Amino acid sequence: MINKLIIDALKPLNIPVAFQRYSGKAQIYITFYEYLATGEEYEDDEEALTAHYIQVDLWSKVDYIDVVKTIKELLLNAGFKRLNEIDLYEEDTKIYHKGLKFYYLEECDING
């Protein structure tokens, strides 16, 4: 569910978005993964809310500032909350890397 939500939210970017790994040849692309999923709230010993913590990584050999801004806007509009972000440079591949961490709260169907 969370993977589809991320992919659908980022579709308007018209750049490749892949879960964990990308093997194409694009100059700019996004990978993402969930680094933590945990029960956030319980009702009658049943999980009522699940917290999803995800990292979205933007990889680019070109300027990516506008893309980062749009990623944040799209995910915030889809219900995600931004936690933090970091600028990195991958020396071995000579590629710029922006890591963005987000949080998404999902309601569980505790009634079956």
Cα–Cα distances in Å, from 77 out to 6, 10, 13, 14, 81? 11, 11, 14, 17, 9
- For 71, the enclosing helix (H) or strand (E) is helix 65-77
Phi, psi dihedrals of residue 24, rounded to the nearest 5°: -85, -165
Q: What is the pTM of this model?
A: 0.88
Tens of pLDDT, residues 46-87: 888 899 999 999 999 988 999 999 999 999 999 999 999 999
Q: Give the CATH number of domain 2-107; options: 3.30.230.10, 3.20.20.70, 3.30.2000.30, 3.30.450.20.
A: 3.30.2000.30
Name the residue ranges covered by the structural domains of the chain.
2-107
